[in-house]
Chain A
Amino acid sequence: MLAMNKFRILGLAVITIAASIVVTSCKDKRSTGWEYAPNMYEHIAYDPDQKNPNFKDGKTAQVPPAGTVPVGFVKFDYPNTKDGYEQSGLEAKNPLAASEQNLADGQVLFEHFCSPCHGTSGQGDGLVVQHGFPPPPSYSKGQSSRGGAMKDLTDGKIYHTITYGVNAMGSYASQLAPEERWKVIMYVHHLQTL
């Protein structure tokens, strides 16, 4: 009988441990936990990055209809070709005033968007490059793949490259607004002199 008691106590202990594990595992990191009146928290409006059954492709973020121009959209009329690049290099000029503030903004934007590859000093030695990304040419010493030295690149050529990308570099048009691109160019001109 003593042996039976021992087993009962042991069994009880095991049950409590199991129960406590089951109870604590109710807080599952994969679930949001208990919800009360969730319809207050679920969005009625569709968020741009959520799915949407009202459109054929199931996305909320739709491309604007053909032939329309979004409000505040700044056009850039030079095509993504060698001729467009050269043309833009001759004609497109920075519309922003060369102020301290614009240059400082440009530096911050450069550090956030460009320095991972181009490096904080524009030498093409950013952290991502150090981890195996193909190095871009240095702004001050390198040669451009489209001819000429990197330090001679003009406003329009740099703007064309940021807008469309070139070689291993992608287009930054979706991340940098036109005004921000011009600010970055201001700072790149500074780095070209280093």
Chain B
Amino acid sequence: MRSISLIFKQFSRSVLLVAGFAVWGFSAQAQGDAAKGEALFKTKCTTCHKIDVRLTGPALGPTIASETDDKWLTHWIQNNQALIAAKDPKALAIYNQYNQQAMTVFTELSDADAGNIIAYVRDDWKKMQSAKPAAGAPGAATAAAVDNGPSDLVIYGLIAVIVIAFIVILVLNKVIATLERLLLNKRGLLPEEPEVTEEHEPVDRLAILKKIAKNKKLVFFILLCGTIALGSWTWVSLWNTNVHTGYQPVQPIKFPHDLHAGVMKINCQYCHSGAYKSKNASIPSLNVCMNCHKVVKTESPEIHKIYDALGYDSQTQKYDSTKAKPIQWVRIHNLPDFAYFNHSQHVKVAGLKCQQCHGPVETMKEVYQYSPLTMKWCIQCHKRTDVNMKGNAYYEKMVAVHELIKRNGRVTEAMMGGIECGKCHY
């Protein structure tokens, strides 16, 4: 009995297992197309294509969904150049519409591979379209709410609260005064009061002032406090006159340095390439923005400010220079003309990090002036910094001359270039 039940148990188990595997395998095969296609799409196509929007090449979702000739699509995917060379009318139309940019040839993809990719794109495009109506308004609303900086709002709110509190106090004061008057009225003491107060008050006040004026210690104390307060205020505000530390103007485009330099770790030089080779660190021209933003974040309103300034149409990816208008960035760091400062000398020769003067820019959502840029600040650093003379031809020559002086004890005019032609015959 036992053995029969055991055998039956084993048998049923194996049957169940086999059935389970069969079902699993079947379903996997049914999905196989799109899943394989997705892997291929991600390795081969994403360089130039997106499913929903135009990148270098067309948006594949609508294009492939509307094209019914799978054979032609497979041909195009495998070797678009051959189709163009054969003057296929459809291929030529696409080639010309996308500025005659050539698509990579994928001869290594089999017909089945191409079919998988097509299946995946159609599948994904269908999913995107069905998901679209659901995700609409709420996302936009939260994004707008997040954008608002709290600082101004908080300050104005505080001031408003204080003003309201003050008004309430005044009103309450008045109410109490009238109530008190009413009380007195009830007792029958009112009629002559107002006249009396009007006559007496000014006299009273003067008397208090006279009393205070007579107390010389108090007068001295008040004068001392006043002098100290005014003096320190003058001292601080004079020191801070023309010093713009903390200056954080509103820029025409909200460029977040914390995202670009912090999260993406894009080197400062990528945009401010002048810092390594010239006096000016240079504000990047918009073509530098377009290196990335031709492709990413194309829907952001801030990025559309760049497009507007360039006269760029993101649909056709063409520039119209007649519509271009410059963006007026607001200068933060301003060094007067009478002080010469050269970025390349500090960055390239001295090897300073940008952050030493500009602060932690990679954490700033909005850039502010970190250093005071005063003469004292410059000189302090110049007094404390050791010069690195190694690998610098200019300084090495200088050191050599010093060595020479130490050894010889004398340096002639000729040794310092005094008999160069240009010294006399310039």
Q: Which residues of A contact B (CB under 8 A)?
A: 3-4, 7, 10-11, 14-15, 17-18, 21-22, 25, 27, 29-36, 38, 40-45, 47-51, 57-59, 82, 111-113, 116, 124, 127-128, 131-137, 143-147, 165-172, 174-177
Using Cβ atoms and an 8 Å threshold, which residues of chain A touch B106? 143
Question: Contact between A175 and B273 (Cβ–Cβ < 8 Å)?
Answer: yes
Question: Contact between A35 and B105 (Cβ–Cβ < 8 Å)?
Answer: no
B324-342 interface bits toward A, Cβ cutoff 8 Å, 1 = contact, 0 = none: 0110110100101110000
Question: Contact between A167 and B291 (Cβ–Cβ < 8 Å)?
Answer: no
Q: Which residues of B contact A (CB under 8 A)?
A: 46-48, 50, 55-56, 81, 100-106, 155, 158-159, 162-163, 165-166, 169-170, 172-173, 176-177, 237, 240-244, 246-250, 263-267, 269-270, 273, 277, 280, 282-283, 285, 287-288, 290-292, 294-296, 325-326, 328-329, 331, 334, 336-338, 368
Contact A128 to B158, CB < 8 A, known contacts A33-B240, A134-B55, A175-B288:
no
15 sample A-B contacts, Cβ–Cβ < 8 Å, listed by A number = A7-B173, A14-B169, A33-B243, A35-B241, A40-B338, A44-B337, A45-B337, A48-B280, A49-B282, A113-B269, A116-B264, A124-B47, A128-B266, A147-B81, A175-B273
Question: Contact between A145 and B102 (Cβ–Cβ < 8 Å)?
Answer: yes
Complex CA–CA separation, A175 to B290 (angstroms): 13
Using Cβ atoms and an 8 Å threshold, which residues of chain B touch A145? 47-48, 101-104
Using Cβ atoms and an 8 Å threshold, which residues of chain B touch A131? 263-264
B303: min CB distance to chain A, Å: 14
**Given A27-B246, A143-B105, 19 more contacts at CB 8 Å?**
A7-B173, A14-B169, A18-B166, A21-B162, A22-B159, A29-B248, A43-B334, A44-B337, A49-B283, A57-B326, A59-B326, A113-B270, A132-B296, A134-B50, A135-B46, A143-B106, A145-B47, A145-B102, A168-B294
Return the contact of A18 from the options B162, B173, B176, B287 (Cβ within 8 A): B162
Complex CA–CA separation, A105 to B81 (angstroms): 38
B341: min CB distance to chain A, Å: 13
Question: Contact between B336 and A30 (Cβ–Cβ < 8 Å)?
Answer: no
Question: Contact between B241 and A34 (Cβ–Cβ < 8 Å)?
Answer: yes
Using Cβ atoms and an 8 Å threshold, which residues of chain B touch A136? 47
B331: min CB distance to chain A, Å: 7
A72: min CB distance to chain B, Å: 12
Complex CA–CA separation, A14 to B167 (angstroms): 11
Using Cβ atoms and an 8 Å threshold, which residues of chain B touch A128? 264, 266, 292, 296
Contact A34 to B237, CB < 8 A, known contacts A18-B162, A29-B248, A168-B48:
yes
Complex CA–CA separation, A11 to B172 (angstroms): 11
Question: Contact between B166 and A11 (Cβ–Cβ < 8 Å)?
Answer: yes
Question: Contact between B166 and A14 (Cβ–Cβ < 8 Å)?
Answer: yes
Using Cβ atoms and an 8 Å threshold, which residues of chain A touch B334? 41, 43
Using Cβ atoms and an 8 Å threshold, which residues of chain B touch A137? 47
Complex CA–CA separation, A77 to B173 (angstroms): 86
A99: min CB distance to chain B, Å: 15
Question: Contact between B165 and A134 (Cβ–Cβ < 8 Å)?
Answer: no
Contact A32 to B266, CB < 8 A, known contacts A14-B166, A169-B291:
no
